[in-house]
Structure 1
């Protein structure tokens, strides 16, 4: 039985994305690739098949490598090399599938990444790509006078490869001091992952699980399906058809703020489609054992508190508190919306 802790329960932003790999070739490529975005190798650990099954529901030996980014305490990467992967994962699936996962990164040079992407496609590399789109993240009080007034906007691109799923964005005309810290020495001038994405059908009770049970701060929730086929950026990134529409809910570290200038990165962005959108269900391909993006984690203090809260909720497949591959207290569960999560201390 887990020993009770008297520490005050705390939770941060989304800590890691787990990326499934099936070979040393995958492992070496992922490390080299994310080093270009400013990451570096941190802890390395392993579990036997029996231990991995208890924590992740996968009967396969596991070796994991945590990738760090400068001094960040969120937005990290865990490469999970499975001896016996379960399936090929999300692969080149587009963004509008149930169970989708992706990580967004801030860059200071989106066009360098675009150049490499287009050259990779020309060389025949398997890539799903949406070129940089102009978008306005924050509603403008009035339209700017072009060339004479400041224009706050972003360019965002979608870059999906067999093992990686990225939204990469660059800000123009404004800055947010705590939402993404670019590594200036990195080749692609990139930050840690600033937010992690999910796609579900709208179900308010499932959405509120993250605030009510995990204690995250809801910083924004659309009142309706505000993103439609008529919005060029949303249509391009999510490959919307005319009948499809979605809204979004953002959950942050409880120490974050609804004031964008004080907001902390590490956001969980839940994209909720209308039930008549008829999305393909890919949940079986975005959980541990799958290749590619297949796990999100949170890091907490007083893990016993969160284990109790999750067990008392409508989450399923809640494991005991165990020791993960890095020697950390950890437990896993499936949230009411169908996403697989791991909490660690």
Structure 2
């Protein structure tokens, strides 16, 4: 059995035209189109509504795609621009060669009175944090990372400076915002038992790369802004990769990563899980592609996952099944090999 990096970020909407135009600015293009009846959508996604979906491709990427899910009868308005410190929070991150261009648009959108929230690009050192550089004498090696929230999209963007990771994001140079496919996706959980981690590692077979790296209010100005950390609060970050990625060599890691931000159960955070599942508007579902989907179904059945469906054809004619992971997040697995003609 094999699993790859996260395949799609699915965005619920009432009409797709404006979103297609939006994602085209980030280098995406229309790929596949499909439909499901209310009965079939209810069988696979638990939503009694007609569904029309559009899969958006990004160059030749085999992961980090976008699926627009146009619901005839949406369940609710989704996460909209709620705080990041909430269970149910989903977001998508992409590499860019021009983060200031994205910032320019965010500032102009705000001036125009459009619904938008953003955090100015923050400097961060991702790798080799212990290294001390000499300003104005040596290259500054790190990233500028910004957050952009809109009613139907929750995005992070990062721009690298003075280093490269060849398999972690391929920029579409002719796109307006010079961005890559989605390189990683995030969720927020509260699970002191760490059962969630065992599920993603042992049941789904993902590669655990970063393990419980702790961030505190005192240690990170960026985390204070993004996750509204208060004094004495903290969270840890654990990441799960495509099994072909690398634990030992950061230059060999692959995109398609799942970021899990875990807050201790002692910290009070909002529960928004009902606003981040199929049927909701906005970013409401992630998918993985797998081989031997029947074996994955049996593995998930043997786990503590809930609301497991049987294998059914999705709107693109691909064998799929859905479930709710132990952390409360809804997932769909898609067969990499089998497709109904």
Q: CA deviation at 1:152?
A: 1.0
Give the Cα–Cα distance (whole angstroms) in 2 for the partners of residues 328 and 191 of structure 1.
25
Q: CA deviation at 1:229?
A: 4.4
Q: Does 1:325 align with 2:315?
A: yes
Measured after TM superposition, the shift of residue 140 of structure 1 is 3.0
- Residue 310 of structure 1 corresponds to 300
| Residue of structure 1 aligned with 2:99, choices 110, 119, 128 | 110
Matched, 1:45 2:34: yes
CA distance in 2, matches of 1:105, 1:274: 27
Which runs of 5 or more structure 1 residues have no equivalent in the other structure?
1-8
Runs of 4+ with deviation above 2 angstroms:
139-142, 225-230
Task: Return the offset for 1:238.
Answer: 1.3
1:97 corresponds to which residue? 86
RMSD: 1.0
Task: Report the equivalent of 1:287.
Answer: 277
Equivalent positions of 1:1-345 (< 5 A) are 9-22=1-14, 24=15, 27-203=16-192, 204-222=194-212, 225-258=214-247, 259-345=249-335
After superposition, the C-alpha distances for 1:56-112 in whole angstroms (9 at most, x for unaligned) are: 000000000000000000000100000000000000112111110000000000000
Aligned equivalents of 2:101 and 2:142: distance in 1?
19
Please give the TM-score of this superposition, normalised by the length of structure 2: 0.96
Distance in 1 separating the partners of 2:306 and 2:148: 32
Report the number of matched residues.
Answer: 333
